[in-house]
Structure 1
């Protein structure tokens, strides 16, 4: 598909999400070449390596030496990454109580009940 004479770009974050999905499904750390193969796309080696390096710098991935390069693994599962994003957003806000109040008021009845149950469970665990 061509728009304004340029190749259409994939939606922002799609490739990152695909890379994370490959790593979550893997039983061991993978090299950029292995990840590129698992993606089944014709991507430049540097494209995959750049994504992996940026995710490592953000703390999303951990890496270990593998020959002359690195092998990568996810630092957390999908739920853990989402929770981390939520926590970072909350940490940026000076009015935490207001943000939490607005968040809770926007929850569905089922989500609100799940949150209440989780809060009670965490109190019982202390």
Structure 2
């Protein structure tokens, strides 16, 4: 999975922070949301075009303008980054154990519940 640069991340944050049920956004919408960065419209357009090429956003033509939306949720993106990082480890098991030992108690409870749910779903399937 592609790691995002600072500006790409800022653009994706604009898209991810919107209500998923909201209509897709235009380049102008994103540029306005990032107005504190003083970015040129064409810069935002280029970043969105590159993100579309990387598969991070989907776009659809509406008249003369493109409308953009995230191809996946922020959580799905982060989860894929974590899986990609595990692929770099010499031992996935050792990396997972190290990660598990580094999380807070609350985070460990969330992981434990997710693993229990996954195991129960697997048992029902099979």
Query: Structure 2: how far apart are the matches of 1:91 and 1:28?
Result: 36
Is structure 2 residue 31 aligned with structure 1 residue 39? no
Higher relative contact order (CA 8 A, sep 6+): 2
Work out the number of aligned pairs and report it.
114
The runs of at least 4 aligned residues of structure 1 exceeding 3 Å deviation read 15-18
**Alignment partner for residue 30 of structure 1, among 25, 30, 37?**
25
Question: For residues 73-106 of structure 1, what are the alpha-carbon distances to aligned partners after superposition, in whole Å with 9 as ceiling and x for unaligned?
Answer: 0112222221121112222334211211111121
Q: Which runs of 5+ in 2 are unaligned?
A: none
Q: Which runs of 5+ in 1 are unaligned?
A: 1-11
Is structure 2 residue 95 aligned with structure 1 residue 99? yes
Q: Write 1 or 2 for the structure with the bigger share of helix.
A: 2
Contact 1:61/1:75, CA 8 A, preserved across alignment: yes
Is structure 2 residue 81 aligned with structure 1 residue 85? yes
